[in-house]
Structure 1
Amino acid sequence: MKKLNLSLAALAVAATVSLPAQSAVLLGAKAGVDAWYADAKINDVRADDTNVQGSYYVAFEHFIPLVPNAKIRYTDVSSQGANTQSVAFTQYDLIAYYEILDNDLISFDIGLNLQKFEGNFGVHKFDEWQPAVYSDVRLGIPATPVSLFGTFSFGSYDETSTVDAEAGVLFTLGLVAADLNFKAGYRVQDYDFNYFGANPGKFMNDGFFGGVELNF
């Protein structure tokens, strides 16, 4: 029987289901797009190319107690070097989370992420789901429109492990009906896929990114 190694997830669920209410006052939404300049390492061999990869996300927040908020993120990943095999896949992050804190100085979200990977790793095709713990934190710098942020997903299931983390700085421009956020930071994907039998499936992708976000 497959064994789920997500003790952190169990703790996160136990902590969040006991919350009396969401931090959001009424309804809210976020939508963003990032351009990521990433270098890949495939089975511990650094690829020769640097790719501009896109990431897109939307999030919806509400006031209903005990019902989690929702976020969907799409990332397109591809890398092909002269001395390494090619890797190309799409990643969908389907996230259910709770707002633990939400004010001008700090916001903190925690939840679960169901990740879907679909594509090619060398000659192997794969279409798999993976569970992960999710967290997001933003720290505002007082008296400035600048804040720091970090987002983290970690999962380990059936000998496959996934780490997807980013950190950076955010500048907020207040508009009439929404906040326009400009983002810059660094993102790392570190995956050990156990989908290909005896063949290794190690993939690391890292680099700087820039993006924009609308926060309604």
Structure 2
Amino acid sequence: MKQWICASVLAMMALPVQADTLGIYAGGGSFKGSTSGQLGSDPVDIENDLGLSDDDSGYQAYVALEHPIPLLPNIRIAAVSFDTDGSGALGSDFSFGGVTIPAGATTATSLEYQHTDITLYYELWDTGFDLDLGLTARQMDITTDIRYAAIGDLSAGQASETFDEWVPLLYGAARVDLPLTGLYAGAAIQGVGYSDSSFLDYQVRLGWTFDLVAVDLGVEVGYRVLALDLDEDDVGDLTADIDIDGVFIHGVLHF
């Protein structure tokens, strides 16, 4: 992992820098997603066993500062919060949080996902087709609680596991202005993989803005996927293969 970080930093230092005017970009709104995948080293299915497949709402927001100072990267700070819960019955024995829960046990599960990004990036093009490349430091906090009913010799109780780590990610984003006033399309991707773990976050969006005297206001709609493959032998204390995906709608501004 240290080798990956060093290589990424060297690659960033080699990027050309294109000056931009000073500007602040911000946005935020609702993210309505669904959860799928597996949980644990002897995995159970998040949808079929734990009942976490229903659509749930969260939020996401960002603010970015771009400037014309040569060699100094732009900065973007972003956050996502998403919670889901469900109930089910285990189809097989499941070891989680130091407890082995037997097959047939009824469960009530909650999964809380949050991350905060600090991204340093360069704007390589700004000509109606914009391209940004950079590096992200992502602080991730995933907490999973499983409450289970008494079954056999096992009393009712709760098992929990948490992933609370900083993860470095590559960052890329693109935007193109469409030939209709104020309309644009964009995409962004962040990711890294090492050993048996990987982190991937990508989104596509369509937006519209209109100009006021001192600020541009607008709205974005899009689709986002967070794909996490976590192995506790690599990083953190949670083994899981989780996808969170869904639609979002933002209010945006630029001044």
SS class of match (1:13): helix
Q: How does 1:51-70 map onto structure 2 within 5 Å?
A: 51-70=56-75
SS class of match (1:125): strand
Structure 2 equivalent of residue 134 of structure 1: 171
- Following superposition, the deviation at residue 8 of structure 1 comes to 8.4
Tell whether the 8 Å contact from 1:191 to 1:202 is kept in structure 2 after alignment. yes
Q: Deviations over 1:17-64 (max 9, x none)?
A: xx2x44312x11111102111001141533232111100111011111
TM superposition outliers: structure 1 runs of 4+ over 4 Å: 2-8, 196-199
Structure 2 equivalent of residue 150 of structure 1: 187
Q: Deviations over 1:119-146 (max 9, x none)?
A: 4134112310111110111111124321
Q: Deviations over 1:164-193 (max 9, x none)?
A: 111021111111112112100100000112
Q: Deviations over 1:63-93 (max 9, x none)?
A: 1111100000011121222238432131011
Match of 1:110 among 133, 153, 164: 133
Structure 2 equivalent of residue 204 of structure 1: 243
Tell whether the 8 Å contact from 1:130 to 1:157 is kept in structure 2 after alignment. no
Change (3 A) 1:199 1:107: closer
Tell whether the 8 Å contact from 2:161 to 2:237 is kept in structure 1 after alignment. no
Structure 2 equivalent of residue 45 of structure 1: 46
Tell whether the 8 Å contact from 1:131 to 1:156 is kept in structure 2 after alignment. no
- Following superposition, the deviation at residue 107 of structure 1 comes to 0.8
Match of 2:24 among 23, 26, 29: 29
Structure 1 equivalent of residue 86 of structure 2: 81
Equivalent residue letter for 1:211: H
Structure 2 equivalent of residue 121 of structure 1: 144
SS class of match (2:12): helix
Change (3 A) 1:8 1:209: farther
Tell whether the 8 Å contact from 1:6 to 1:155 is kept in structure 2 after alignment. no
Gaps in structure 1 of 5+ consecutive residues: none
Tell whether the 8 Å contact from 2:163 to 2:238 is kept in structure 1 after alignment. no
The normalised TM-score by structure 2 is: 0.75
- Segment drifting more, 46-55 vs 77-86: 77-86
Equivalent residue letter for 2:114: T
How far apart, in 1, do the equivalents of 2:86 and 2:6 lie?
37
- The number of residues matched between the two structures is 210
Gaps in structure 2 of 5+ consecutive residues: 39-44, 89-107, 146-159
SS class of match (1:153): strand
How far apart, in 2, do the equivalents of 1:8 and 1:37 lie?
36
Percent of residue pairs identical: 29
The normalised TM-score by structure 1 is: 0.87
Tell whether the 8 Å contact from 2:203 to 2:222 is kept in structure 1 after alignment. yes
**RMSD over equivalenced CA pairs, Å:** 2.4
Equivalent residue letter for 1:45: I
Equivalent residue letter for 1:195: E
Structure 1 equivalent of residue 207 of structure 2: 170
Structure 2 equivalent of residue 195 of structure 1: 232
How far apart, in 2, do the equivalents of 1:145 and 1:163 lie?
30
